[in-house]
Amino acid sequence: MKKLIYISLLLLVFNCEEVVDIDLPTTEPKLVIDASLNWFDGTAGNEQEIKLTLSAPFFDAEVP
């Protein structure tokens, strides 16, 4: 039983890793509209939130 535990620990410690680079196509930034239109009973309905941003590449560290 102890041999099985030691072998399992060795396999977990000395496993292999392979880095896979994926080339994702890049496109022109597009307009993204994120809106929340909440209208509750008994309110004027004048509290909406609308955000306009541009799309960004997936692996880009900077958010536009």
Question: Which secondary structure element, helix H or strand E, spans residue 62, and what is its range?
Answer: none
Domain ranges within the chain, ordered by starting residue = 26-57
Query: 49: pLDDT confidence band, cut at 50, 70 and 90?
Result: confident
* CA separation for the pair 64, 28 (Å, rounded): 13
- For residue 61, give the amino acid letter: A
Q: Across the chain, what does the average pLDDT equal?
A: 81
> In angstroms, how far is CA 16 from the centroid of its own chain?
26
CA distance 5 to 2: 5
For residue range 20-35, what is the model confidence (pLDDT) as tens digits? 888 888 888 899 999 9
